[in-house]
Amino acid sequence: MDVIVFCACFAIIAIASQQIGQSLVKTGLPLISGFLFTGIIAGPYILGLISSEAVLNLRFVDEISLGFIAFAAGGELYLKELKSRLKNIAWVTTGLVVCTFSLTGLTFFFLSGFIPFMQTMPMSAKIGVSILAGAVMVARSPSSAIAIVNELRAKGPFTQIVLGVTIIMDVVVIVLFSTNSSIADALFSGLSFSFSFIILLVSEIGASVVIGYLVGKMIVAVLLRSLPQSIKTGLILLTGYLVFALSSHIRQFTHDNFFVEVLLEPLLICMIAGFLVSNTSVFRKDFTKLLFDIGPPIYIAFFTLTGASVSLDILAQTWPIAVTLFFTRGIAIFIGSFIGGVLAKNPLKNNHISWMAYITQAGVGLGLAKQVVVEFPEWGDQFATIVISIIVLNQIAGPVLFKYAIKAMKEDHPETKGVGFEGVKDVVICGSDGQAFALAMSLSSHGWDVKVAVTKTNCDHAKNPDVKVCHLSEFNLSELKKINSHHAGAMVAMLSDDENYKICEIAYEHFGAMTVIARLNDRSNFARFQALDVLIVDPSTAIVNLLDHFVRSPAAASLLMGMDRDRDILDISIKNPDLSGMALRDLHLPFDTIIMSVRRRGVLFVPHGFTRIEAGDLVTVIGSLKSLKEVTLKFDTKNLKLET
């Protein structure tokens, strides 16, 4: 009954935590800082809304969240997107892991005399705690890194390497933590480092891999079933929780019945399961979307409860330790990233700046700290308090430094407004009636540079201050060149058929590969315009065809007409060489985007999941405005403006 009361009270506090977190984001602080802050205020040391007893009874929330975090960490490591820069990523990752683990672990050990819970520990136990601290300090924050990349619309080799290293580090740190947990457990239990210990350690890791494989198969089986999304989500979260329960049961059973403890690391098991689902099954997108949808409430609950578990009395005594380790970690990251970058033969400027991109910590680091609490409850809370303090400092300083690094490498792409065409966004409209100026206003609102070319000086619409009007003596080559029509991305002819044909012929003969559109007045002229590769709009049939589409497919017609303000259709040219040869099903695109068609060497076809894209393909994408920004950035589109 008490657990139900604790859960109800905690749910109310978590809702408040969400609001506080979103409010603090406006001040520039990371979202999780608000969750942690709320948990600390509501915790047993200040308001007491979450008591120490409640924290213990809500331990299952931690275990469900940790399973989710490990699934997400494994799922984010998608090898097909990293293969082009795997060598660079491997060198930088190696440098970071070795330097960060070594320097922070040694610093923690040398400061053990100033840490209350370590002062009376024997030497072997101090070593065990220190190697666990070193492992946790290796962790990064993929979610924070991706959020910053999306915010700055960052694109380039530096950004790709940083993201690759950040994602792989989550996998490396979980493996490193699992190994160190077994070593620390042996140090605390007095087990000697013999050949039998090495066999036990290898067996524990091997068993974790096997169980992780089986858990991955269970998740695939869940995703394969025709079940409501909520039930699938519940089953996967339950699977993660059961992994922790199984690990705890095996550890307790072996402790009671054998001379050694068998410690199967649940984080490693769940991470392997997530990795296998993402890389070896056809359900990668389903799995990723499911984790994406359930992520916000999981993070709110986890970080709020983590804040409530912070021991403020220990923090008051050890904050100088946390600050010292914060700076030590920064120095270690600088050394590791520089050495790794030199070995990878990255440019010297990259090596001087790259350390700024690896400071941020969040989910996995906190998850490992909480796992220490689970595995070593005697001193785990005090250990977690110090580590959480360091992570909060890293989470505050990290995003600021990462933003500076991206801007210093000139890989940020500032936001501009407008949705539409990929390429030169200049258009010349030849026409003087109301439709011509209405089109000009519409294109201008989407970020196009519009010129309306007229020959009638008494045109009432030409007085419109919101449209740039160019007065020509007549429509000929020299006059059109005066207004830079030959540099435009598109030209629209909206005059009589004879004038339209003359304009289209000039564009065809002299202006090269631009988009030319003509409004047809007499259908008998259709063949003449078609011979010039003109996109023809026939008013006599356009309205009928549009009404026909509204009857047969009202949603699609509304989208094409721009009536859905939150979504749009966009043609994007594939310019990112890293994507060439990749199947559409393997592209990591936003969930609400669909590639409708591909135009390759003049041939238009409808793709399927196994269609492989090539550099130079023109793909038609439908999705939300926010997601289209991510897609254009991923495809390495230049000078594309998207509407905010």
Give the 3-state DSSP-derived string for 620-636, with helices as H, strands as E and coil as C: EEEEEHHHHHHHHHHCC
Per-residue pLDDT at 192:
60
214: confidence class by pLDDT, cuts 50, 70, 90: very high
pLDDT at 215 over 50: yes
Give CA–CA dist 242/126, Å, rounded: 31
Per-residue pLDDT at 328:
92
Residue 365 · residue 139 · CB < 8 Å? yes
Architecture of the CATH domain 567-634: 2-Layer Sandwich (3.30)
Lay out the sheet containing 515-519: strands in order across.
Answer: 468-471, 449-454, 426-430, 490-493, 515-519, 535-537
Residue 387 · residue 136 · CB < 8 Å? yes
**Domain 426-545 CATH class label:** alpha beta
More confident position, 470 or 543: 470
What is the percent of the chain with per-residue pLDDT over 90, rounded to a whole number?
4
Per-residue pLDDT at 555:
60
The segment with the largest mean pLDDT, out of 209-218, 385-394, 484-493, is 209-218
pLDDT at 43 over 70: yes
Per-residue pLDDT at 7:
81
- Name the residue ranges covered by the structural domains of the chain: 61-408, 426-545, 567-634
Per-residue pLDDT at 420:
40
More confident position, 238 or 72: 238
Per-residue pLDDT at 461:
53
The segment with the largest mean pLDDT, out of 60-74, 137-151, 589-603, is 60-74
Residue 16 · residue 39 · CB < 8 Å? no
Burial of 9 by CB count in 10 Å (0-12 exposed, 13-18 middle, 19+ buried)?
middle
197: confidence class by pLDDT, cuts 50, 70, 90: low
643: confidence class by pLDDT, cuts 50, 70, 90: very low
**Domain 61-408 CATH class label:** mainly alpha
Q: Give the amino acid at 521.
A: N
Please report where in the chains the tokens 């610093």 appear, as a residue.
107
Q: Which of 170-174, 423-427, 483-487 has the lowest mean pLDDT?
A: 423-427
644: confidence class by pLDDT, cuts 50, 70, 90: very low
What is the percent of the chain with per-residue pLDDT over 70, rounded to a whole number?
85
More confident position, 575 or 413: 575
Q: What does pLDDT average to over the chain?
A: 79
